Amino acid sequence: MNPTQGKKKKIRLLFVCLGNICRSPAAEGIMSGIIEKNGLQEMIEVDSAGTSGWHEGDLPDERMRLHGEKRGYNLCSRSRKIHKEDLSDFDYILAMDENNFRTVRAMATSKEEADKIHLMTDYLVQFRKLHDHIPDPYYGEASGFELVLDLLEDACEGLLLSIKRDHLLI
């Protein structure tokens, strides 16, 4: 018998920002924690990438790691640039803002690939009417990192609800 037979394919999520050192690795770490808390590690897999390769191989920004640690998140993924293959390999591609959304959308070569690409803010619940993008905290103060974490916690919870509903995990 084939070892993958009867095994359901994992739902794969890719979080995308510009440099893959602040927002997208934070989303990856937060979503990983939520998935673990819900016992869904066998069903959902997460990764992150950037539309630029400026920080390839780097850990997330030290300030983001520090703010994440205060909330119990381990933000330790290494930065990588998004690749064309990611559009076929992942089920959900979640861009942090319109610029990254447009960049990723331009990589799509089919309607199927384009339909996988969403704004992270599409999944906001509490902050839905207040924010239309996840702001880049890189050049700002500590409060910017906290806001990003607040928004991502909200959006990741909303995303999980949507995945549960769409994939009958409820």
Residue by residue, DSSP assigns the chain as: --TTTTPPPPEEEEEEESSSSSHHHHHHHHHHHHHHHTT-TTTEEEEEEESS-TTTTPPSPHHHHHHHHHTT----PPP-B--TTHHHH-SEEEESSHHHHHHHHHH--SHHHHTTEEEGGGG-STTTTT-SS----TTS-HHHHHHHHHHHHHHHHHHHHHHHHHTT--
76 catalytic? Reply is no
Which among 86, 97, 136, 154 is annotated as catalytic? 136
58 catalytic? Reply is no
Which among 23, 47, 61, 80 is annotated as catalytic? 23
65 catalytic? Reply is no
CB of 133 closer than 8 Å to CB of 14: no
Which among 17, 22, 97, 156 is annotated as catalytic? 17
Q: Which residues are catalytic?
A: 17, 23, 136
